[in-house]
Amino acid sequence: MAPDEGNMYLLGRVAAPEQKERFLKPLLEGRARSAFFMTEPASWDGAGSDPSMMKRRRTGLGMGWVDKRTKVASSRVRKA
């Protein structure tokens, strides 16, 4: 689990105003916690613990997107 700072930075840079209100504001006020989880899937070129090497495919579907990637497991997330 990563600290909140990276997630707050990302939300501050790219989130829509509604997302900032819903997610960033509670973080800044200390009322919420955030998490970044990476399950380290064995991708075809071995991403290991480098999230920039993880592979995924995004497909347009009607009014939204389908994000296809490998999910292994997450544990110890009760406080996130």
**How far, in Å, CA of 54 to CA of 42, rounded?**
9
H or E segment and range at residue 65: strand 64-68
Residue of 13, 10, 11 whose CA lies nearest to 21:
11
**How far, in Å, CA of 4 to CA of 2, rounded?**
7
Q: What is the pLDDT of residues 25-80, one digit of tens each?
A: 999 998 988 877 666 555 556 656 666 666 666 676 667 766 666 555 555 556 54
Q: What is the pLDDT of residues 21-40, one digit of tens each?
A: 999 999 999 898 887 766 65
Give exposure, 15-48, as e/b (b: 16+ Cβ within 10 Å). Answer: eeeeeeeebbeebeeeeeebeeeeebbeeeeebe
- Res 77: pLDDT: 59
